[in-house]
């Protein structure tokens, strides 16, 4: 399938950031005086979790808690560090790897229709793309990160180099070729290593079995039926369409100092079916509740999303934490299932208990969204909602 539509979108959107991208020195200091917490229905722990923004870790936070245990909505921080306007609680944001939940849901729907076999090899669907060295990788292994395929190569290794290449267009097939040209990390199904590449291949398989684009399939099967009007795939457009709070990343600036740079305009074709979706907390809450209630993936196949493979993590040796589309963590003495996502300037997550009695969606405008450790504000939100690990 050609990607000419991506090139066309770039020509239409352009790649020029409106105004300077470096935050003025005065704006990158202590919390702005206009920062507020606005909330619906009281919850002291959650209000405290997002109070005081912007800070060194985040400039804004949007939170929605739902379910039978009670509801709560709140926002804090600023729309941008130039005007210090309060954050827009209805803003769109980059949800990163939350995209994987949508991809997994579509794959499972196709499996329920008999159009996709989770136990069939990925190579049987894409023989011209997947080499014989990966003939044993199944669709299920792509989706639960036990495939053993390494990550593709991207230009640069630092955030500054990534920023310099932020408008580069990445073709999914080229990413797969780059990854599969390398030796396997481990035998299929032997261990687990969380990477994007499995979902890039899954997106291409969805296109092959439906003879349609991945984006249209997600829209037809998930976005439109649930009325997710503020959720979309940006393609090659590096801008977030519609109202959004600005994202910032701490990095080395042009003058050699380290500070915050506005990274709201940044291409996401490297994520595609693994991480390029744009959404809102309201849309993601609606999606999460429908998913956990069995209204997106129906019947026994929904169990795939709540079943961890019986293998260990390839790096830590700990038990696998990722299922098909979701991950699991014990918080407050109970299993919490969900998915986090990170794009430069933005962290997001959806989560819920298995029965959906308490769901959480947040967007945190993190100043180091791809850091090794979880953003402190996001972690505090998670603990305030479910309790400590």
3-state secondary structure 143-186: HCCCCCCCCCCCCCCCHHHHHHCCCCCCCHHHHHHHHHCCCCCC
**8 Å CB contact between 107 and 305:** no
Domains of the chain, earliest start first:
20-386 (3.40.710.10)
Q: Cα-flanking dihedrals φ and ψ of residue 320, to 5°?
A: -55, 140
* Angle 5-7-13 from CA coordinates, rounded to 5°: 100
Q: What are the structure tokens assigned to 175, written together?
A: 């990413």
Instruction: Please name every residue paired with 64 in a beta bridge, in sequence order, or none if there are none.
Output: 73, 361
**8 Å CB contact between 99 and 275:** yes
Helices (H), the chain: 4-13, 44-50, 99-112, 122-125, 139-143, 159-164, 172-180, 197-210, 214-218, 224-226, 281-292, 376-386
Instruction: Please name every residue paired with 330 in a beta bridge, in sequence order, or none if there are none.
Output: 335
Residue 195 CA: distances (Å) to CA of 14, 177, 183, 256, 304: 30, 15, 15, 32, 18
* Angle 290-293-297 from CA coordinates, rounded to 5°: 75
Residues 6+ apart with CB under 8 A from 352: 67, 288, 289, 292, 336, 337, 338, 358, 359, 360
Instruction: Please name every residue paired with 130 in a beta bridge, in sequence order, or none if there are none.
Output: none
- In the prediction, which pLDDT does 372 show? 85
Instruction: Please name every residue paired with 232 in a beta bridge, in sequence order, or none if there are none.
Output: 278
- The burial class, CB within 10 Å (0-12 / 13-18 / 19+), for 152 is buried
**8 Å CB contact between 61 and 84:** no
What is the distance between the alpha carbons of residues 242 and 61, in angstroms, rounded to a whole number?
18
**8 Å CB contact between 194 and 315:** no
Using N-to-C axis directions, what is the helix angle for 99-112 and 197-210, rounded to 10°? 40
**Would you write out the chain's pLDDT as a tens digit for each of its 389 residues?**
444 333 233 222 322 233 334 444 433 343 444 456 787 777 899 999 999 999 999 999 999 999 999 999 999 999 999 999 999 999 999 999 999 999 999 999 999 999 999 999 999 999 999 999 999 999 999 999 999 999 999 998 999 999 999 999 999 999 999 999 999 999 999 999 999 999 999 999 999 999 999 999 999 999 999 999 999 999 999 999 999 999 999 999 999 999 999 999 999 999 999 999 999 999 999 999 999 999 999 999 999 999 999 999 999 999 999 999 999 999 999 999 999 999 999 999 999 999 889 999 999 999 999 988 999 999 999 999 999 99
Which pTM was predicted?
Answer: 0.91
Instruction: Please name every residue paired with 337 in a beta bridge, in sequence order, or none if there are none.
Output: 328, 352
Tokens 């919490």 belong to 336
Pairing of strands 58-66, 72-77: antiparallel
* Angle 198-362-92 from CA coordinates, rounded to 5°: 85
What is the distance between the alpha carbons of residues 175 and 173, in angstroms, rounded to a whole number?
5
């Amino acid at each position: 399938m050609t990607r000419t539509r991506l090139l066309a979108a770039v020509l239409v959107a352009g790649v020029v950031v409106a105004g300077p991208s470096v935050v003025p020195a005065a704006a990158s200091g202590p919390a702005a005086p206009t920062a507020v917490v606005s909330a619906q229905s009281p919850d002291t722990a959650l209000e405290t979790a997002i109070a005081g923004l912007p800070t060194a870790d985040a400039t804004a936070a949007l939170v929605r808690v739902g379910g039978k245990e009670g509801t709560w909505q709140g926002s804090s921080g600023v729309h941008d560090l130039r005007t210090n306007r309060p954050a827009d609680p209805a803003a769109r944001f980059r949800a990163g790897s939350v995209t994987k939940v949508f991809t997994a849901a579509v794959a499972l729907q196709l499996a329920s229709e008999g159009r996709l076999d989770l136990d069939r090899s990925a190579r049987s669907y894409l023989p011209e793309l997947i080499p014989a060295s990966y003939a044993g990788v199944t669709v299920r292994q792509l989706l639960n990160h036990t495939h053993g395929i390494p990550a593709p190569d991207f230009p640069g290794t630092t955030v500054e180099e990534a920023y310099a290449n932020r408008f580069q267009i990445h073709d999914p097939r080229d990413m797969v070729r780059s990854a599969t040209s390398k030796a396997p990390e481990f035998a299929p199904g032997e261990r687990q290593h969380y990477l994007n590449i499995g979902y890039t291949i899954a997106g291409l398989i969805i296109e092959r079995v439906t003879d349609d684009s991945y984006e249209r399939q997600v829209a037809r099967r998930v976005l439109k039926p649930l009325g997710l009007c503020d959720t979309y795939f940006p393609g090659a457009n590096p801008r977030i369409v519609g109202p959004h709070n600005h994202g910032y990343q701490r990095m080395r600036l042009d003058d050699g100092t380290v500070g915050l740079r506005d990274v709201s305009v940044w291409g996401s074709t490297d994520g595609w079916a693994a991480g390029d979706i744009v959404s809102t907390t309201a849309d993601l809450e609606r999606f999460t509740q429908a998913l956990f209630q069995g209204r997106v993936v129906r019947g026994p196949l929904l169990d795939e999303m709540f079943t961890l493979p019986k293998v260990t993590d390839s790096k830590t040796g700990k038990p696998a934490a990722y299922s098909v589309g979701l991950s699991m963590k014990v918080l407050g003495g109970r299993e919490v299932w969900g998915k986090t996502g990170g794009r430069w300037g933005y962290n997001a997550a959806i989560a819920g208990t298995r029965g959906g009695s308490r769901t959480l969606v947040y967007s945190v405008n993190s100043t180091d969204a791809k850091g090794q450790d979880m953003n402190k504000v996001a972690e505090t939100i998670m603990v305030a909602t479910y309790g400590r690990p």
